[in-house]
Amino acid sequence: MPPKLYCLAHGLYTRGTTLGNKRLTAVSLFSGCGGLDSGFEAAGFRILSAHDIDPVAVQNYNNNLVPVGVVSDISSKEFTIPSGVDVVISGSPCQGFSLVGKRNVLDPRNSLLLTSCELVRKASPRAAIFENVPGALAGAHKEIWDNGVKILQSAGYRVHYETIAMNDYGVAQMRKRVFLIAFKDRDPFSLSDTLRPVTPPSLRDVLDSAHRVGSGDLFLPMAPGSLDWRIAERIGPGRKLCDVRAGERSVHSWEIPEVFGETSSEEKELLISILKLRRQLRRRENGDADPVDIAVLTKLHGKGVVKKTAQLVEKNFLTFDGNYVDLRRRFNGKYRRFSWDAPSYTVDTNFGNPRYFLHPSEHRGFSVREAARIQSFPDTFDFSGSIRDQFKVIGNAVPPAISVLLAQQLKAALYSKL
């Protein structure tokens, strides 16, 4: 029997059902641990097979859903989808498209989007669903997306795609994803037109009782008194360690002398000046900041700035090549401390690492069960593998609370044509 899912947004429990004597079928590509598939199972679809190249993801899938997961290389020439299936579900890898990654347009994983479109063209299901990150629609990557759309349209599919903010529909995180819906025999529906937005749930709403769940203590520890611990002690809710932004949300490394070393008031003044100027005086079109010309700093702060710069280079706060000065720590936020009364940031594969994300009130990262709850997985979904494996499959998944709503809309549209 499909897993029972709770959709916090819409206040309902749902199990798989059928209408009449017809049960819709689906094949899943890049299925991962089954976040997208679990919603389709719960909505009454019969998943014929689910394919992923990661054996750990497939093991998690088969341990929790109808065990049709298969370790498969979807890019191989031998791989096919059986004809006669009603729906193909595809969540091809997003790393090459992601705005937080290197965004390498030549990343071979990007072509898997086109591979899945070709497989749909050949199998000719009644409908197909594709999921990816918003970065797939930006810059040079948009050409890959557009080519995928052209493949589907050439096969007679009518296509609609849009970006959905998942916290608008009951998922307690600020996660956006693009969904492409393709139909052979009708116009595709718009998710934003058919789903009912709700007040976004907070972390408190979904984590209140997570500590009582069996695997709730499975997390990456932070040793008391360690450098990580001392940094965490200085990061309040809603704040992060960040040298490249001003404002209340940023805690700068020079504000934590017990970890990064002492700085004088004049040195702090110079660091803040560089922080601002590197974004104001741009020389390149890409990126969001540039190193600052030492001549500009000399004009603003006097001839003594060269000596102060050398001191800050020695203390590992700055870099200096003889002409341009820049901050050494240019990451835009680590040790992000979440707030109980706000949604989470996007749950990704690094979500359990406390150097990236901190629990709202404890000096630690999030547990596996907490990450799963934020992703809307039910507590009955049991994850296996190493702790890093578990965070990986959770972070790569589509939240089941979204997938069940999507599947219900798709089922209604397909049954209307029977």
- Residues assigned a catalytic role: 94
Category of 347 on φ-ψ map: left (φ > 0), alpha (ψ -120 to 50) or beta: beta
Kind plus residue range of the DSSP H or E element containing 89? strand 87-90
Dig out the tokens for 320 from the structure: 């200096």
Side chain identity, residue 166: M
C-alpha dihedral sign at 398, 401, 404, 408? negative
User: What stretch of H or E contains 27?
Assistant: strand 25-29
Residue 403 phi, psi dihedral angles, 5° rounding: -65, -35
342, 167 contact by CB (below 8 A): no
**Count of residues making up the chain:** 418
| Rounded Cα–Cα distance for residues 207 and 287 (Å) | 36
| 201: nearest Cα among 336, 340, 338 | 340
Coil, strand or helix at 371: helix
Per the DSSP assignment, residues forming a β-bridge with 88 are: 27, 128
